Structure formats: C-alpha cells, structure tokens
C-alpha cells in the first residue's frame, strides 16, 4: 500500500488514472486508450507569483471599466457573449483543418490595430504563418510571432513582451520540460495548461488556446482542460462544405447557447449574417421526405431543412441513423409514430439528415422530423412554404415550445407563408394577414396540415 507509485496509466479519452494497465478503460469503455505516464512532483518554476490574495466584501468591489474588447468578428463576439473578457482563458477545439488557426489570425487583423498580440505557434513555421497572414490581410505592426514549443520559454516571452492578447496554437504541441510525459499526453496537456493559466491570470492577459479533438470529437485531455479554462468553444463543420459553426459549450462570462456561423473562402473566414438563408440554399421543392423547422440557437431563430428517408430493409434489425439529430431521439420518435399515430416503420431502414451541418438538439425539432419521415413513408410532399416545430410527447401529443414568436417571425422573413405549431402555443401569438398559423394537437393533425393533398382527402 505504502509503496510509491512511479508510473500511472492514464486514459487519453477521459483522463482516468489507474495503477495498472487495462485494454479497455474501465471508466469510459474506450479500447486501447491507456498510456503509461511517469509521475513526479511538478515545480511551476516558470510561473510568476500572483499578487497576494486578500479577502474583500463582494458588494464593495468595483468592476474595472471596459472589460470586454470586440474581436471585429461579430459572430465570434456573439458566441463569447460580447467580446473577449480581460484575463479570460478560452479554448478553441475542432478537427484538424477546420479553420482554428485561420480564425485566430483573423482576430489579429482587427485587434492588432490597437492591441499587442503574441501569436505562439508550435505547429507551423514563421514562413507558413506569414504567408497565411498575408493572404488574410493581417499586416499591422502589433502582431508578434513566436514559434516555440517549450512552455517555460513561451511564458518568459509573455512576461517580457506583456501582450494584450496571447494565442497558443496548439496545447498539444507545447510541453513543460520538467514533466516527463510526451507532448500531447494528458499529464503534459494538463500541466502546460495550468502553467499558462497561472501566468496569464496573474497578468490579466486574455488568452486563446487551440486544442485538437480526438476521434470522438472531444478535446484531447478533455475534462482536465475544460475545468481550467473560462470558455470552451468548438469549431465544427463538414469538411466537404464551406460552412463552419462556432459553438460555445462552457462560458463563465455569458450564455452557452449562441452559435456563430462562418463561411470559409479563399481569403479566409467570412461571417454569415443570415444563416437561415444559407441553411435553406439549394433546397429542392416538391420532393417527399423533407420539412423545414424553425429552431432556436441561443437567442437567434434559424430555419433548417430536415430530411427523412424510409426504405424497405433487408435486415432483421432495420437501420436507424441520424445526422445532425440525436439517434436515441429518432428511435423514440419512431416508436411514438408507430404506437400512437399508426405509421409503421418497423420493417424500414430510417434515416434523418439535417442539411447544412447544423446539430439540432432541441425538442422542438421533433415535429419536423416526424413530418419528414411520414412524407417519405407515404411518398407525399409537404407544402414547401410551411415550417413546422413542436415537441412530440410519448403519448403522441404535440407539446408547446418556447420563443414561438421569434420562430414565426423568422419564417415570415424568409418568405414562408404558414407555420404548423403546437396548439397550446396559439395563445399570445400575433396574427398577421399574410401568414397562416395552424395549431395542432397530434401528429396526424400535423401531417394533414403539412401535406395539402392529404388535407383535401380529409
């Protein structure tokens, strides 16, 4: 018992530590993720001492003047809750090549006009970064570059240069020389992030840290990092199309529901002011198996097309697959449709896809998914100028959702003429002459309202 542990096995997926090796992590169940790491006390010699702490009465504290600075990218500012907070530590995660370095260099273009920025890269050479900066039009004198992977050296430079903003690209490439583990290992990532945190918090320097994601899409060394930083942002998108979505999953200074939408072009990332229009571009009208939903992303309503496909299956257990929608929720909806509304999917392979790379987690999307699936099943066409939203309960009832007026307004703004909404939401909705609102109580009613041919039959 009292024996000193010299090495530990650490799971690279969930950060679990164990004294012995397992082929499968007992904590997260991933295979082959336990790696040996040497344990020794870590001396934070590179960390400058923070000021002496004193206890103060909360009510007498006066927040300093302007705490936030805008990045010049409104979509990023929105996600951060209004700009970069002084002393804030922000983690940006995303697949390789999604555009994290590009986004951060673009921030330099605007902020570099009156702020000193230190961009530390452990991934690219100065020449590579210079070429990219030229392409992105970053040419002000306040942006400094450091290609270095040793955290001690980096923090020395930070102390010497005292930048107004620090960017570390990426946490997996930097390492502390007094920690034995290799760069990118859980211990190294945690200790490096801790050292950076201590240094920049002491000096009140806002800092962006880039983190790579592992095969499940979580930031490598994930949990340890997420506790250390103030904001966790994910940069997502399909590499086959040019749209990128910046999503906030933790924010100590604002809401976490906001998303920012960008488009990757030859000259860098462009902000998308009108995401609904983008999500609906290329939509085919008069085909079966599609329905438009008005969903809320934070405070902003966005229209998105949901596609459903039901086709005969040769399998004993037919396939259920969803992209941009929760798989379990799909199984549950299919069970409700079958049991409560009499639409039979049990011998069919069923697929759901949200067009444009959005991930819709909100229950209000249920109704659009159901309509897309039923129209595919029946080979009918839902009216292309109609949006639908509402949560489907286990009894097959359509339940009220929030922010109904904002959703309806967005649909009307984009030229839609009708909305199928939960009946309980009708109260308090403003009626307008050129926009029809249909309140429904059951899935069958909703389907009849969505498909004009069906309504005529009834």
Partner whose footprint covers residue 224, from ligand TYD, Mg ion, none (CB < 5 to 8 Å by kind): none
d(CA 41, CA 144): 33
Query: Do residues 175 and 221 lie in contact, with contact meaning Cβ atoms separated by under 8 Å?
Result: no
Least distance CB 98 / Mg ion (angstroms): 9
Nearest residue to 452 via CA among 425, 430, 420, 422: 420
d(CA 199, CA 44): 10
Least distance CB 103 / ligand TYD (angstroms): 7
Least distance CB 212 / ligand TYD (angstroms): 8
Helix, strand and coil content of the chain, in percent to the nearest 5, comes to 30, 30, 45
Partner whose footprint covers residue 135, from Mg ion, ligand TYD, none (CB < 5 to 8 Å by kind): ligand TYD
Partner whose footprint covers residue 96, from Mg ion, ligand TYD, none (CB < 5 to 8 Å by kind): ligand TYD
Beta-bridged to residue 69, according to DSSP, are: 84
d(CA 73, CA 106): 8
Note every long-range contact of 340-344, with CB atoms under 8 Å and residues 24 or more positions apart, other chains counting: 340/394, 340/395, 340/396, 340/443, 341/396, 341/442, 341/443, 341/444, 341/447, 342/444, 343/373, 343/374, 343/377, 343/443
Least distance CB 176 / Mg ion (angstroms): 21
Partner whose footprint covers residue 90, from Mg ion, ligand TYD, none (CB < 5 to 8 Å by kind): none
As given in the structure block, the two tokens for residue 150 are 């040793």
d(CA 288, CA 382): 7
| Helical (H) or strand (E) element with 262 | strand 259-265
Nearer to Mg ion, 101 or 172 (CB): 101
- Contact set with ligand TYD (CB under 6 A): 94, 96-102, 132, 135-136, 264, 266-268
Nearer to Mg ion, 242 or 409 (CB): 242
Q: For 380, list phi and psi in degrees, rounded to 5.
A: -115, 170
- Looking up tokens 């969930």, which residue turns up? 14
Nearest residue to 169 via CA among 129, 133, 229, 137: 129
Partner whose footprint covers residue 266, from ligand TYD, Mg ion, none (CB < 5 to 8 Å by kind): ligand TYD
Nearer to ligand TYD, 133 or 158 (CB): 133
Least distance CB 72 / ligand TYD (angstroms): 16
Partner whose footprint covers residue 386, from ligand TYD, Mg ion, none (CB < 5 to 8 Å by kind): none
Nearer to Mg ion, 244 or 399 (CB): 244
Nearer to ligand TYD, 208 or 325 (CB): 208
Query: Do residues 208 and 166 lie in contact, with contact meaning Cβ atoms separated by under 8 Å?
Result: yes
Partner whose footprint covers residue 222, from Mg ion, ligand TYD, none (CB < 5 to 8 Å by kind): none
Nearer to Mg ion, 167 or 280 (CB): 167
| Helical (H) or strand (E) element with 302 | strand 300-312
Nearer to ligand TYD, 266 or 379 (CB): 266
Partner whose footprint covers residue 401, from ligand TYD, Mg ion, none (CB < 5 to 8 Å by kind): none
Binding residue for Mg ion (CB under 5 A) from 33, 69, 71, 101?
101
Least distance CB 401 / Mg ion (angstroms): 39
Least distance CB 184 / Mg ion (angstroms): 14
Nearer to ligand TYD, 210 or 398 (CB): 210
Q: How far is CA 122 from CA 167, 245, 419, in A?
A: 11, 25, 51
CB atoms within 10 A of CB 160: 8
Least distance CB 405 / Mg ion (angstroms): 41
Q: For 340-445, list the strands marked E by DSSP.
A: 348-354, 386-388, 391-392, 398-399, 418-422, 436-440
Nearer to Mg ion, 173 or 175 (CB): 173
Least distance CB 101 / Mg ion (angstroms): 3
Does 121 bind Mg ion (CB under 5 A)? Our answer is: no
Partner whose footprint covers residue 98, from ligand TYD, Mg ion, none (CB < 5 to 8 Å by kind): ligand TYD
Least distance CB 278 / ligand TYD (angstroms): 17
Partner whose footprint covers residue 319, from Mg ion, ligand TYD, none (CB < 5 to 8 Å by kind): none
Nearer to ligand TYD, 167 or 381 (CB): 167
Interface ranges with Mg ion (CB under 5 A): 101
């Amino acid at each position: 018992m009292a024996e000193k542990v010299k090495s530990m096995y650490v799971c690279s997926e969930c950060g679990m530590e164990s004294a012995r090796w397992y082929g499968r992590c007992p904590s997260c169940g991933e295979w082959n993720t336990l790696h040996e790491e040497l344990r020794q006390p870590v001396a934070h010699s590179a960390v400058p001492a923070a000021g002496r702490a004193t206890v103060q009465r909360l009510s007498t504290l006066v927040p300093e003047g302007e705490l936030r600075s805008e990045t010049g990218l409104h979509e990023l500012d929105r996600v951060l809750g209004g700009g970069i907070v002084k002393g804030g530590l922000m983690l940006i995660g995303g697949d390789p090549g999604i555009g994290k370095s590009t986004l951060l260099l673009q921030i330099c273009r605007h902020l570099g006009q009156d702020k000193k920025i230190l961009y530390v890269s452990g991934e690219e050479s100065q020449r590579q970064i210079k070429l990219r900066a030229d392409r992105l039009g970053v040419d002000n004198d306040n942006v400094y570059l450091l290609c270095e992977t040793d955290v001690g050296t980096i923090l020395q430079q930070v102390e010497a240069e005292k930048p107004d903003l620090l960017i570390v690209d990426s946490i997996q490439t930097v390492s502390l020389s007094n920690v034995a583990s290799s760069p990118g290992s859980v211990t190294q990532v945690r200790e490096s992030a801790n050292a950076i945190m201590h240094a920049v918090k002491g000096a009140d320097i806002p800092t962006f840290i880039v983190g790579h994601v592992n095969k499940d899409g979580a930031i490598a060394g994930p949990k340890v990092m997420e506790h250390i930083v103030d904001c966790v942002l994910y940069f997502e998108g399909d590499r086959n199309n040019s749209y990128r979505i910046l999503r906030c999953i933790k924010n100590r200074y604002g809401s976490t529901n906001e998303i920012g939408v960008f488009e990757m072009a030859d000259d860098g990332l462009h902000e998308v002011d009108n995401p609904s229009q983008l999500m609906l571009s290329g939509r085919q009208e008069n085909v079966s198996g599609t329905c438009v939903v008005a969903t809320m992303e934070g405070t902003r309503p966005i229209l998105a097309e949901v596609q459903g496909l039901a086709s005969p299956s040769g399998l004993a257990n037919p396939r259920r697959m969803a992209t941009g929608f929760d798989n379990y929720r799909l199984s549950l909806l299919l069970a409700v449709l079958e049991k409560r509304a009499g639409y039979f999917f049990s011998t069919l392979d069923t697929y759901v896809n949200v067009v444009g790379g959005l991930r819709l987690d909100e229950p209000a999307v249920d109704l659009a998914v159901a309509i897309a699936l039923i129209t595919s099943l029946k080979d009918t066409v839902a009216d292309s100028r109609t949006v639908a939203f509402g949560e489907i309960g286990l009894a097959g009832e359509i339940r009220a959702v929030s922010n109904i007026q904002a959703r309806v307004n967005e649909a009307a703004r984009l030229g839609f003429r009708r909305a199928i909404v939960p009946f309980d939401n009708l109260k308090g909705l403003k009626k307008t002459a050129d926009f029809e609102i249909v309140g429904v109580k059951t899935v069958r009613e909703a389907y009849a309202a969505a498909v004009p041919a069906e309504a005529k039959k009834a």
